[in-house]
Amino acid sequence: MKVQIIYSSLSGKTKRLAEAIAVGITEADTWTLHNLKDGEPELDGDIILLGYWVDKGGPEKKMQEFMKKVSGKAVGIFCTLGFYADSTHANQSVNAGIDIVKKNNTIIGSYVCNGALSEQIIKMFRKNGTQGTHSTSPENEIRWSIMASHPTKAECELGAERFRERIEIYRRFQEKGLPFKSIS
């Protein structure tokens, strides 16, 4: 099967995850990797994995627009974000992506993990002072420093495992003529 991994990444965190997912795909499948900053690829894969950095609790704009064009495919969704990966916000951020594609596609899986705010964004937040969400605070500073190395190797490997397994399940179902019911 042909797997297309298409992602958007501003500061490299989602790119790191996308590359790990690509490397984790078994030899039974072929894959291509596209960064949306290089333009929108032709959708000729059997399976499309769409990855984005979270902006305002959902896919950033370029990916949002691209997602609307994906139809009739087996689709996986992944993203990285600055807030906690096990938070309601993270859940909503990955679901916001799923919601765009689920009507016209089969959802085979999703994965959300921590990214990290870039140094540039942190510097900007520090300039904003201490008031509001996009500002510095002792709490934010601690979280940013602990999260700075995300996504970690372990997070990348888990994402790779998630999609490697789903692709394998999807393929075996196809071989036996079994339907894969969208999981979302």
Ligand X SMILES: Cc1cc2nc3c(=O)[nH]c(=O)nc-3n(C[C@H](O)[C@H](O)[C@H](O)COP(=O)(O)O)c2cc1C
Residues lying near ligand X in the complex (CB under 6 A): 9-15, 53-57, 80-83, 89, 115-117, 121
CB of 166 to ligand X, least distance (A): 22
Please report how close the Cβ of residue 66 comes to ligand X at its closest, in angstroms: 15
Residue 89 vs 126, nearer CB to ligand X: 89
Cα Rg of the chain (Å, integer): 17
Which residue number, 61 or 68, has a Cβ lying nearer to ligand X?
61
Q: What span, in angstroms and rounded, lies between the C-alpha atoms of 103 and 54?
A: 21
The answer to whether 159 and 17 are in contact (CB under 8 A) is yes
Residue among 84 and 130 whose Cβ is closer to ligand X? 84
Nearer to ligand X, 15 or 171 (CB): 15
β-partners of residue 107 are 75
In the complex, least distance from residue 16 CB atom to ligand X, rounded to whole angstroms: 8
- Ranked by CB distance to ligand X, the top (closest) residue is 115
Residue 108 near residue 168, CB atoms below 8 Å:
no
From start to end of the chain, where are the E strands? 2-7, 30-35, 47-55, 58-59, 74-81, 106-114
Q: How many CB atoms lie within 10 A of CB 82?
A: 21
Name the minimum Å distance from CB 30 to ligand X: 24
CB of 151 to ligand X, least distance (A): 8
Mutual angle of helices 13-24 and 153-175, in 10-degree steps: 40
**Under a CB-based contact definition with an 8 Å cutoff, are residues 45 and 3 in contact?**
yes
In whole angstroms, how close is the CB of 86 to ligand X at the nearest point?
A: 12
Q: Name which of 13 and 162 has its Cβ closer to ligand X.
A: 13
Q: Is the CB of 95 or the CB of 174 nearer to ligand X?
A: 95
Strands 58-59 and 47-55: antiparallel
